[in-house]
Chain A
């Protein structure tokens, strides 16, 4: 969205920061050209958010698996302490929510969600212009775009609803899988239709329970997306203050950035924690076999 003169307006600056690098299928074949985005259908990938997401997932696995040269029973040190602390924290949470049912997938999944989402959220603390500028320079240098301003690079994966809803979708599939596995298809359908009004109000029950069921992944994904998107937006607005040619506004922007970043650390951790806890709670509910 670069203007012809090369000068960006505020709106363009913000818009630029909120646009993904997309590669997708157009009628003419696969392309990463930003101008062709409108012609892409569903078959398009946000290369930046997906790439960071996978990279941070690998960081998680590397940190928790390869980061420990040798597991020690005697006296854990360094990274093993941190890893054990995380696992114990997750395990405590899982066990306090999963009181009766046992499922050895929930722990690892909750750990993955917590650390991975936290790492993805953490990218929000990298000043908003660093990585996109770097990516723009690289793209220009390698000839992928003519002007670095034409390159788009959105870093924080959790500000992309595709990412948060993608994880929520996996959780949703697991909810349905375990509901059917534990209660049987009959039990699951009975839960959807015979509640809360009894069997003569089946359609009403189905609508109510269906909404209840669908609301779980939607709220799970959108909550994380909304919080991080809003936080990212405020970072962008603060960063915008630094583009004005006024020292006092610039200094104010630095101060605000510091304050918001400090406050945001809390939000990042909290949102990762909430996503984990809700994942555990939803799956615990799927394991509950109540008599209706």
Chain B
């Protein structure tokens, strides 16, 4: 174990290698590592931001959706009530119309019947009087004739 100038040689080598490492090895690699670290941090932050904005968008979307749903429901309800109203109106109108038609028809029928009855009575009376004249052979005065006619009509 002799100590000699090797010691100083190694000291010099040590200084030189440390200097090389200090100047040329350490800084570029550290710089690269720091840059990557920064990039990753930025990426994470961006991801967090994106996450936040996604959440926000989701919230807005939900709100819009609910609003639209409520609106749609309202519209639907309105349409339903309007439809039922229309149906009711139509029904009512139809009923009224039907009644009207029915009543006018029955009136017409009644009139016709009455008219027919009247005519029938007239004819019947004339027939009876004519027949009676022929049977009696007697002239019946026009006044009497009229009277008889009326009488007969009323009786029939």
Contact = CB atoms under 8 A, between A and B. Distances in A.
Nearest to B8: A166
Interface in A49-76: 49-50, 53-54, 57, 60-61, 64-65, 71-74, 76
Contacts of A24: 4-5
A163 B7 CA distance: 6
Contacts of A40: 4
B10 A73 contact: no
A187 interface: no
A243 to B, nearest CB: 25
Interface residues of A, number: 47
Interface residues of B, number: 31
A53 B12 CA distance: 11
Contacts of B36: 73-74
Nearest to A43: B5
B35 interface: yes
A240 to B, nearest CB: 21
B20 interface: yes
Interface string B10-21: 110111111011
A65 B29 CA distance: 9
B28 interface: yes
B6 to A, nearest CB: 4
Main secondary structure of the interface of B (DSSP, over half): helix
Interface in A160-203: 160-163, 165-167, 169-170, 173
Contacts of A91: 30
Nearest to B39: A73
A169 to B, nearest CB: 5
Contact of B9 (A22, A50, A73, A112): A50
Residue with the highest number of chain B CB atoms closer than 10 Å, among A84, A104, A162: A162
B26 interface: yes
B102 interface: no
A112 B1 contact: no
Contacts of A65: 20, 24-25
B5 A45 contact: yes
A71 B22 contact: no
Contacts of A76: 32
Interface string B90-102: 0000000000000
A42 B26 contact: no
Contact of B14 (A44, A160, A167): A167
B33 interface: yes
Nearest to A87: B29
Residue with the highest number of chain A CB atoms closer than 10 Å, among B1, B6, B13, B24: B6
A111 B25 contact: yes
A34 to B, nearest CB: 13
A152 interface: no
A74 B39 CA distance: 9
Contacts of A44: 2, 4-6
B10 A87 contact: no
B135 interface: no
A74 B14 CA distance: 33
Interface string A8-49: 000000000000001010000000000000001111111001
Contacts of B24: 61, 65
Given A45-B9, A53-B10, A53-B13, A162 B4 contact: yes
A111 B8 CA distance: 21
A84 B29 contact: yes
A129 interface: no
Contact of A42 (B5, B22, B32): B5
Given A109-B21, A170-B14, A73 B35 contact: yes
Interface string A199-231: 000000000000000000000000000000000
Interface of B: 1-11, 13-18, 20-22, 24-26, 28-30, 32-33, 35-36, 39
Given A109-B21, A112-B14, 4 more contacts: A76-B32, A87-B30, A161-B1, A169-B7
